[in-house]
A and B are shown apart, each in its own frame.
Chain A
């Protein structure tokens, strides 16, 4: 990829992020519930706030400006690196995010790791002997994994592993042991999808002539599978992992609530309930940035995996 292409990509990413932020800003704007009233009610311990107080709050926070003016204000601050402050306390949104982000990243990475560790061997086992018992077992497992809602699996794991067997702590995010159940919950659902894709991609690749040629070279089956076949089957798999990232981030919202992990997900959910708009906006924008960057990384991975894929887009 050359410099010009990179600029083009960065510009596209900027436009996408602008769209994402505009959309979330707009969605919050039309959501029922008045942040001024909600917040003041809470601050005053459940009392209905007076009209003057409400208006004063709106004026202080620029809430009575027209939509585009509000958005422009916010965007202007963001471009200067300021995500604003929470309505409730004086903490800056970036500070809140930085505090929570590592937990969510740990969860996402661990989930993807769990997913790959389950999915790749399962998919390969299926593809090597299609129609065998191992294949059926993997396929049924996949079906269960795809159909099971992850919050339910989360509670199930808490009940069995934490409450009955006392293997893992129920909630929190202190150490590695707190990561196991959430990442299993989130990873298994992803594993189901990836395993099916690995199976299909491998079946496809194993029929290719170069696999037979590799056998004729005298290579062992294991090397043929993990070197020659898997490398070729990985391109669609990497694509789906990129797409599954949205699943991880969405899932993190639910899973963090289930396991009471302080992460971006819980931060976002709490902010939405509290109508804490700056926090909602900041977190959404960050998730958008992560998503766009990850997809960019996926595209870069393609050309690493398959030299025929040239991101330059120049057919000569």
Chain B
């Protein structure tokens, strides 16, 4: 385990608002090894984006209140801003959900990719006037090279006709091309870790499949580690080696994708899976059934899923849930799951529809 590229331990990220305090990330631990694709699976509000932002140390206005994040042996929670600036976009790149919003509308795509190239090359000193493009202060040949590199990158991520697209503005491109451009930006520095926060959610299925294929080949060819955040079990199943299931800022279950998605042990993971395999109608019911805890701001003892879990016992609410090893590399935070496992697996197979309905009533 010591060779893990990224190691997140007992991470707590807190957001203070007028309404109170939200522990968006509440004791999350996981690792990402080199050349490994790890998925973070969870519904909206489960703290998966806050986890991703914390790793890049872009959690503001939130605050990391506890825990540690180690990247390539370097502690990030206490690192200086200048160190983080050198890491971001260089060793750790990030791709966000909506490419329409993550590209700056007023600069051409090529300029934005070239900027990424320029940020980390040479001395790494970023001069304002050079980046603003004020003519006598702009290093023209360097930008020309960066632009050439941008065209290469665009070709690499499958943007057709990159010579022409390089001077297009984001609004002139389709959603899929935009996300490819964002990906090109992220790959400019050949990062060791790529964090992709819902990278395909805003895209259609064919584009989604293509982007996911590119992520996998990135891992296969360049040994890039990828942390893929999604609410979509299908995306995780297609792409990841291991998965971490988050609920209310806590890890419910974590382990190899095949094991978690074929034989889930945690009631929450099972509920999540049973939603996704039904038709869209039941899907909606299932999701509303698993509504997030009403009082999101208060701190609660015990399992966050207790109110919606059909196997709930007093032990679930009495105190913090211990994480247990169900198998090697398969972690589980549930007091009931190991005992009720056999029962519920058969239950899941026998009456798949009743499961969701029952939860709906209690919600």
Contact = CB atoms under 8 A, between A and B. Distances in A.
A123 B119 CA distance: 27
Nearest to A205: B104
Interface residues of A, number: 23
A213 B96 contact: yes
Contact of B106 (A212, A213, A215, A306): A306
A152 interface: no
3 pairs of A and B residues whose beta carbons are closest in the complex: A218-B89, A209-B101, A218-B88
Interface string A226-237: 111001100000
14 contacts: A210-B102, A210-B105, A212-B102, A213-B94, A216-B96, A218-B87, A223-B131, A232-B105, A305-B106, A306-B106, A307-B108, A307-B169, A308-B106, A308-B171
A210 B107 CA distance: 11
Nearest to A218: B89
Contacts of B171: 307-308
Contacts of A217: 88-89, 93, 115-116, 119, 185
Contact of A209 (B56, B98, B108, B120): B98
B85 interface: yes
A220 interface: yes
Contacts of A216: 56, 58, 88-89, 93-94, 96
A219 interface: yes
A8 interface: no
A210 B101 contact: yes
Contacts of A231: 104, 106-107
Interface in B90-112: 90, 93-94, 96, 98, 101-108
B120 A223 contact: no
A134 interface: no
B126 A232 contact: no
Q: Identify the interface centre among A216, A228, A232, A307: most chain B CB within 10 Å of its CB.
A: A216
A164 interface: no
Interface string B105-148: 11110000001100110000010100110000000000000000
B259 interface: no
Contacts of B278: none
Contacts of B105: 210, 232, 306-308
A226 B131 CA distance: 10
A128 to B, nearest CB: 12
Interface of B: 56, 58, 85-90, 93-94, 96, 98, 101-108, 115-116, 119-120, 126, 128, 131-132, 169, 171, 182, 185
A210 B128 contact: no
A214 B56 CA distance: 12
Interface string A179-211: 000000000000000000000000000001110
A87 to B, nearest CB: 51
B132 A226 contact: yes
A231 B108 CA distance: 13
A135 to B, nearest CB: 16
Contacts of A209: 96, 98, 101-102
Q: Identify the interface centre among B86, B93, B102, B185: most chain A CB within 10 Å of its CB.
A: B102
Contacts of B119: 217-219
Interface string A283-316: 0000000000000000000000111100000000
Contacts of A213: 94, 96, 102-104, 182
Contact of B88 (A215, A223, A226): A215
B115 to A, nearest CB: 7
A202 to B, nearest CB: 14
Nearest to B92: A216
Contacts of A215: 56, 58, 88
A307 to B, nearest CB: 4
